[in-house]
């Protein structure tokens, strides 16, 4: 809808000032406030007429007759797409971010935890960071060991030094000698390919190992399209949302916290960003029909020139998008540079 609208420069400036004021105060915005904030030199009466036109266009609404105006979801989307001026980070903020993320860490997960903490503290909202999916992760070593009939232990060591164990259940008994042969073949392939690439290669090129591959690797690397492509989630600043007036109503904050706990909502949005390979902003119903008062800014971070994970900020629908976009973009850039070293 907003892409087809033709709005005069005067009305764009008024809409911009309404949104900026709403971001700061969470209160309806009247014509007198716009007259003071803008450099248009218009009377309050002229501004009211323009605001009425913006309301007719579906970009503003009036919560009740005597109140000022508030931006609609469409109004916020139009602002973000066409009117928003990003607020650059200060030199001190950039230095603080680089100091935290570029310092020595035991493994990449520590860096992602720090990123979540930084996002939450710099924006005042809730931060979400996803680890790379196992499909894109480089492994140094993998070993398959029979525990008992139908149960196999898989030990994986990632390129960053993280050790992961996973139990796999099979319908048929697979001998230890077969598993050792398969482990050797897998470790040779790990020097060139990711786990996801190995699965495809074995199924396509090695018919003798196809059944074995399907028994073992399908459980390690699911191919179901409903399975999230992001890895483990790191969430920080949940309680920040309690400070926002939109969530002072107990049922609203309860439903939002439940969505954060279940993580399905976050995984779906992070996957959409990973597929789009660029920063994305979700507003209102785009976030979730059950949590319409929210907005989310999400960006991917890269390794070897392709996105492997995502980070984002979840806040009220009137969140400070100009500030949040700059923070998310900068931290994504720094994590991408760090990911190349690990």
Average pLDDT of each block of 10 consecutive residues along the chain (342 residues)? 71 94 91 86 90 94 86 95 92 92 79 93 92 72 88 83 80 83 85 73 55 55 48 82 74 68 68 77 81 86 82 92 96 89 70
Q: How much is the pLDDT for 7?
A: 87
- The edge-to-edge listing of strands for the beta sheet with 233-236 is 233-236, 126-130, 306-316, 294-303, 280-283
Q: What is the CA radius of gyration of the chain?
A: 25
The second-level CATH assignment, the architecture, of 2-83 is Orthogonal Bundle (1.10)
* pLDDT score for 328: 96
Considering the chain, tell me which residue range(s) the CATH 3.30.390.60 domain(s) occupy.
Answer: 139-220
So what's the pLDDT on residue 221?
53
Specify the CATH number of the domain 91-133+228-339: 3.30.450.40
63 in Cβ contact with 300 (< 8 Å): no
- Give the pLDDT confidence score for residue 325 in this predicted structure: 96
Question: Boundaries of CATH 1.10.10.10 in the chain?
Answer: 2-83
CATH number attached to the domain at 139-220: 3.30.390.60
Distance, CA of 154 to CA of 164 (rounded, Å): 8
pTM above 0.85, yes or no: no
Q: Residue 134's pLDDT is what?
A: 62
Which pLDDT does position 218 carry in this prediction? Answer: 54
Q: Which long-range contacts (CB under 8 A, 24 or more apart) does 211-220 make?
A: 212/174, 212/178, 212/182, 215/168, 215/170, 215/171, 215/172, 215/174, 216/144, 216/152, 216/154, 216/168, 216/170, 216/174, 216/182, 219/166, 219/168, 219/169, 220/134, 220/154, 220/166, 220/168, 220/195
Type and span of the H or E element at 144: strand 139-148
At 100, list the tokens. 């935290």
- Give the pLDDT score at 220: 57
Q: What is the pLDDT of residue 224?
A: 46
DSSP 226: T
Site of tokens 């009425």: 52
What 2-8 contacts at long range (C-beta under 8 Å, 24+ apart), as own/partner pairs, is 2/59, 2/74, 2/77, 2/78, 2/81, 2/82, 3/81, 5/57, 5/59, 5/78, 7/54, 7/57, 7/59, 7/78
């Amino acid at each position: 809808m907003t892409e087809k609208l033709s709005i005069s420069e005067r009305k764009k400036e008024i809409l911009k000032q309404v949104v900026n004021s709403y971001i700061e105060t969470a209160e309806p915005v009247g014509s007198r406030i716009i007259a003071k904030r803008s450099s248009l030199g218009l009377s309050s009466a002229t501004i009211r007429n323009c605001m009425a036109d913006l309301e007719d266009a579906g970009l503003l609404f009036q919560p009740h007759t005597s109140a000022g105006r508030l931006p609609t979801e469409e109004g916020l989307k139009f602002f973000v797409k066409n009117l928003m001026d990003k607020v650059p980070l200060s030199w001190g903020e950039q230095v603080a971010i680089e100091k935290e993320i570029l310092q020595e860490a035991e493994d990449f997960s520590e860096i992602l935890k720090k990123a979540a903490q930084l996002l939450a503290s710099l924006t005042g909202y809730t931060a979400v960071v996803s680890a790379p999916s196992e499909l894109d992760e480089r492994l140094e070593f993998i070993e398959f060991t029979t525990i008992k009939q139908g149960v196999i232990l898989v030990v994986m060591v990632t390129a960053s030094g993280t050790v992961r164990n996973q139990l796999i259940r099979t319908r048929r008994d697979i001998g230890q000698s077969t598993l050792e042969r398969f482990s050797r073949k897998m470790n040779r392939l790990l020097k060139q390919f990711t786990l996801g690439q190995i699965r495809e290669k074995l199924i396509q090129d090695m018919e003798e190992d196809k059944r074995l591959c399907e028994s073992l690797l399908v459980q390690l690397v699911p191919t179901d399209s409903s399975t999230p492509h992001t890895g483990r989630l790191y969430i920080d600043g949940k309680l920040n949302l309690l400070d926002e007036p939109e969530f002072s109503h107990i049922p609203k904050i309860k439903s939002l916290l439940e969505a954060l706990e279940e993580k399905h909502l976050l995984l779906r949005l992070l996957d959409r960003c990973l597929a789009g390979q660029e920063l994305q902003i979700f507003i209102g119903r785009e976030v979730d029909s059950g949590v319409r008062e929210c907005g989310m800014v999400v960006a991917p971070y890269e390794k070897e020139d392709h996105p492997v994970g995502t980070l984002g900020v979840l806040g009220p629908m009137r969140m400070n998008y100009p500030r949040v976009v700059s923070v998310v973009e900068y931290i994504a850039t720094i994590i991408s540079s760090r990911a190349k070293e690990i």
